[in-house]
Structure 1
Amino acid sequence: MKGSFALTIDRSIVSQASSRLNRARLTKASHSALYENTRDDLLIAIDCENGFEFTKQDHSLEKVNSQLGLAVLDPKDLSRSPSSIVNISTYNFATGTSNYRKRVSTRFIFGESYNLCTQKKDLAEKINSIISDSRNVILIGHGGRQDLKAFSSLNAKFLQYPFFDTQIIARNVLPVIDGNGKANERLRNLLTYFNCPFDRLHCAGNDANLTLRLFLLLVAYSLKDVSLPCSQEFQEKAKIIKDITYAPLPALKPYPHYVAFVRKQRRRQLKLQA
């Protein structure tokens, strides 16, 4: 791992990595990776729920109710695939009690949650196995200081790369946010600003996916005043990125208490009909 980025995360690291995220820098890095394929970067968004407790635990996660979310987009897919089959690969890792993990699995809307009751080193191996060692990374989070600490405690290898905080990017790229600035910088409010679909926030996998979508939206917004190529290839990529960002959410899974209620109602109806 380069340097000591993953080992010395504190307030200053996020501010140092994000303070330079003005419109020009965001445009240059993201435009090269997304639109021109001149950079071999993966886009990875991270999120953690109950990260404080997760970070405190050194080994066993059996009693630590927490979630880690990971969302990955490979810009190379924008060149070789139609938008209908380009997806953000999204993962949700849940630890802790059986009841907590079951509840979490119904909130995650982008696939099946990894319900893990294991050691930290096993979770670290699983997360690190997802990301290829041969690729550079654009690392993304939303107000992600605690998220960085959680992934740092796993020695996640992608933490060697610069961190882009969408909360700070929005502050620099969007029009002045009036009123309660911190409230308006919340993920929910920024997604609403762009009319981006969302649901079941505060599930780590969902939040990671939606943070990556927000990043794409901010990149597109930052390009609106920039002179862009008019080539067909560029326009096709721009359309694919827009389609990914505004893709409908998967069908929501019913919550367990609702399923139990429906089953109870059905049993009652069957008794009345007997």
Structure 2
Amino acid sequence: MAETRNAPVEMSNPPHQGILRQENLVLRTIFGYANEKHTSPSASTGSLPSFLGECFPGSSMKDLLLVAIDVDAPQSYNKANIEQHLLHIGISILDSRHVRDLVHVGTHDAPVAFDRFITNYQFVIGNSHPARAYTASKKFLWGESEPICRSELQTRFDGLISGRDFVAVLHGTCLDLRILNDLNVTSLSRAVYIFDTNKVAQWPLQLHYRLSLRTLCETLGIPFTSGHAAGNDAHFALRALLMLAVRDAQRLTRVYGYASISAEVVLQRLQDIALAPRPVSEEDISATARIESHRQRKVANLEKKWLKRAMKQARKKQRQAIAGASDDFSDKEALDEEAIRAELERRHF
């Protein structure tokens, strides 16, 4: 008797649990939605910065600005030729005081346009590529691009943060921070923290790899569009950070089973802002045109098939009539082949 062996059982790998990083603990601390146990540093996260802003009175949420920054530069960028490069600098800002006010005042009295709480800017430095500058300006969804000199960027940035405590938000930090350093934006050194949304996303979304900004936003349900325009990318990176806080809190609740009512209200407001409607983009218009064109082609093909089928049936009835196969056949029941051909020509088939 032949020996039988059990087939090897294939073991599926459990889903990746994600990497808990320092960024996650800082995000919990800033918005105050986690207890002390889940904001305490560990060996994997390292110690937290000693200062992350002052809390609002009677609240665990921090009083600061969230400043998202994106730099659009050519692939050939290098500091030695910085004067020859066309650079777009996108900056989007959310004041946590707006979130606090939304929590305290509520939104029951009247509909709230949540997207208005984020202010957006797109600065253009250099004029070596007018066509590229025009394209990026045209794609910017929240106003007009502002041409400035390289030496003005530091002053404009200081004016936007107005001496407030702030955290910086970027999607992938290395190149952008290097270019901002080359542009002498020294105020970034005053940020109480610098978030990289790529790193923040690891634990809430249980990832072991990094996502593009478009894929990250789509995963979070954020209505992303018109990427690779610095002002748009900065805006959506900020929305992504807010929604990652919501997903982080949801995973904390699933894993550890706790949530406070006050934290739920804060998180609901963050989600309202992150998922708020956005302006219509050229990408949307093009997509709508493609859908309509496809619909029209589909309708035309259906009409063509129907007319051809009608012609085929008319011929069959005519043959039956000639052969005497149909005693109750009448001229009124027969479709005129010439009329059908004329209809086909009229519809340009």
Q: 3-state SS of the aligned residue for 1:76?
A: helix
Deviations 1:39-71 (A, max 9, x none): 2211111111117766615874xx422211111
Q: 1:30 to 1:138 in 2, by over 3 A?
A: farther
Equivalent position amino acid for 1:242 in 2: Q
| Residue of 63, 66, 78 corresponding to 1:40 | 63
The answer to whether the aligner puts 1:49 opposite 2:72 as a matched pair is yes
1:259 alignment counterpart:
none
What amino acid maps onto 2:272 in structure 1? D
For structure 2, the 5+ residue unaligned runs are 1-18, 34-54, 284-349
Q: Give 2:273's aligned residue.
A: 244
Counterpart secondary structure, 1:199: coil
- Code of the aligned partner of 2:131: N
State whether structure 2 residue 113 is matched by structure 1 residue 90: no
Aligned partner of residue 68 in structure 2, secondary structure: strand
Structure 1 position 20, deviation (Å): 4.2
Residue in structure 2 matched with residue 152 of structure 1 by the alignment? 181
1:110 alignment counterpart: 142
* Cα deviations by residue, 1:171-227 (Å, 9 ceiling, x for unpaired): 2332235xxx34xx1111111111210111011110000001111111111111243
Give runs of aligned pairs for residues 132-211 of structure 1, distance below 5 A: 132-133=162-163, 135-156=164-185, 157-161=187-191, 162-177=193-208, 181-182=209-210, 185-211=211-237
Q: Is the 8 A contact 1:22 1:173 kept in 2?
A: no
Q: How far apart are residue 74 of structure 1 and its match?
A: 0.2
Specify which of 61, 64, 69 is matched with residue 85 of structure 2: 64
Percent of aligned positions that are identical: 25
> How do 1:209-228 residues align onto structure 2 when only pairs under 5 Å count?
209-224=235-250, 225-226=252-253, 227-228=258-259
Contact 2:89 2:124 in 1 (8 A): yes
Preserved CA contact (<8 Å) 2:23 2:195: no
* Unaligned residue ranges in structure 1 (runs of 5+): 1-17, 255-274
TM-score, reference length from structure 2: 0.57
Three-state SS of the structure 2 residue aligned to 1:237 is helix
Q: 2:261 aligns with which of 224, 230, 249?
A: 230
SS in 2 for 1:172: coil
- Which residue pairs with 1:99 in the alignment? 131
Give a deviation string over 1:216-241, Cα, whole Å, max 9, x none: 1111111112433214xx54433322
Larger RCO, structure (CA 8 Å, separation 6 or more): 1
Q: 1:129 aligns with which of 141, 153, 159?
A: 159
Partner of 2:94: 73
Q: Structure 1 length as normaliser, TM-score?
A: 0.72
1:258 maps to none
Q: Does 1:31 align with 2:39?
A: no
| Counterparts of 2:266 and 2:68, CA distance in 1 | 20
Paired residue for 2:22?
A: 21
Q: CA RMSD in A?
A: 3.0
